[in-house]
């Protein structure tokens, strides 16, 4: 009878361990799905920012040299987005280093083109110019948020995969470890400046 009790205890312990491992594997799978969803959202916001930048470049609201620079940077962003969409790795690996550089270049171009003087001149014009500025600002803010959500999701996966049980039992399988994305996503100062008191 005592042997039967030990066997029952061993089976119960194994069942609890199996449940715990299954629970953690499912949680890790959900976290990886969250990364995939957030990288898709980030990609969509990067594309939207590039499209808004192309619209601004083609609007005639900024000088031709600035428009050319902005159109070139935005087109490069759209081209790398199209190339990234073809690759399967984007769903899990996120944005590669080349695309991060292209997006940083677009950010720097937007900041260089939308100087305070240009913004002030555009805001003094008709409603279309103000609408374009507002669209650029909104698109840039959405890129910031999407990158933050992506990096938060990646940090969650990295923390979960750093746990000893997850590593020992290889609960992540052969899935690559996603990496945090770092590029300059500063929002150009296109808002109406607040006068100092």
61's CB contacts (< 8 A; 6+ apart) are 122, 125, 128, 129, 132
Phi-psi region of 94 (alpha: psi -120 to 50; beta: other; left: phi over 0): left
- Report how far residue 23's alpha carbon sits from residue 41's, in angstroms, rounded to the nearest whole number: 27
Indicate the burial class of 179 (C-beta count within 10 angstroms; 0-12, 13-18, 19 or more).
middle
162's CB contacts (< 8 A; 6+ apart) are none
Please tell me the pTM assigned to this model.
0.87
- Report how far residue 175's alpha carbon sits from residue 177's, in angstroms, rounded to the nearest whole number: 6
Query: What tens digit of pLDDT does each residue of 129-157 get?
Result: 999 999 999 999 999 999 999 999 999 99
pLDDT in tens, the chain (197 residues): 699 999 999 999 999 999 999 999 999 999 999 999 999 999 999 999 999 999 999 999 999 999 999 999 999 999 998 766 645 455 556 678 899 999 999 999 999 999 999 999 999 988 999 999 999 999 999 999 999 999 999 999 999 999 999 999 999 988 889 999 999 999 998 765 545 55
Phi-psi region of 192 (alpha: psi -120 to 50; beta: other; left: phi over 0): beta
């Amino acid at each position: 009878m005592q042997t039967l009790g030990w066997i029952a205890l061993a089976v119960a312990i194994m069942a609890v361990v199996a449940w715990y491992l299954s629970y953690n594997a499912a949680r890790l799978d959900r976290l990886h799905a969250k990364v995939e969803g957030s990288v898709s959202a980030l990609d969509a916001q990067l594309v939207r920012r590039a499209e808004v930048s192309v619209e601004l470049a083609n609007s005639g609201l900024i000088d031709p040299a600035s428009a050319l620079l902005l159109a070139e940077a935005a087109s490069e962003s759209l081209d790398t987005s199209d190339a990234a969409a073809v690759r399967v790795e984007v769903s899990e690996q996120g944005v590669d280093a080349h695309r991060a550089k292209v997006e940083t270049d677009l950010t720097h171009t937007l900041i260089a083109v939308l100087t305070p003087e240009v913004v002030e001149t555009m805001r003094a014009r008709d409603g279309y110019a103000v609408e374009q500025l507002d669209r650029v600002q909104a698109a840039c803010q959405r890129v910031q948020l999407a990158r933050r959500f992506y990096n938060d999701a990646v940090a969650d996966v990295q923390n979960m995969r750093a746990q000893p049980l997850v590593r020992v039992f290889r609960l992540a399988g052969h899935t690559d470890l996603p990496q945090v994305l770092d590029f300059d996503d500063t929002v150009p100062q296109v808002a109406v400046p607040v006068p100092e008191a």
